[in-house]
Amino acid sequence: MHSSSGDIVRIYLMPTSTDVDELLSDIRDEMATALGVSDAEAVARINQQWQGQDLSGDDEIVLHEDGYFWALSIYFGGNVPDWSPDADRSNWMPKPAPPRDSPCWTLPD
């Protein structure tokens, strides 16, 4: 994402490497397709999950799982009873999104 002046606009609150940026993009995509979450909410949830951490190293531990894993883990607060893509999630309880006045929300909804 770029601003009109050409400067990169940061939507994530933590430092990230290029590989982590790609993973975060995959997580956003998975949240949208698998869970119906907006980009703004997905970014807010990702920020809430990893705010205050430095994910800019070359071999971050978060890179050892894929976007699907992290999307479900973040959305359901780590309580994922069935990892299959066609699981019935209708009775699963998502972790509440960050409050709307939280700095985690860096994109308009």
Q: What is the 3-state secondary structure (H, E, C) of 32-99?
A: HHHHCCCHHHHHHHHHHHHCCCCECCCCCHHHHCCHHHHHHHHHCCCCCCCCCCCCCCCCCCCCCCCC
pLDDT of residue 9: 60
pLDDT tens, residue by residue, 12-66 = 999 999 999 999 999 999 999 999 999 999 999 999 999 999 999 989 999 999 9
What pLDDT does residue 10 have? Answer: 83
Name the pTM for this structure: 0.89
Number of domains in the chain: 1
Q: Is the pLDDT of residue 1 over 50?
A: no
Share of the chain above pLDDT 90, in %: 86
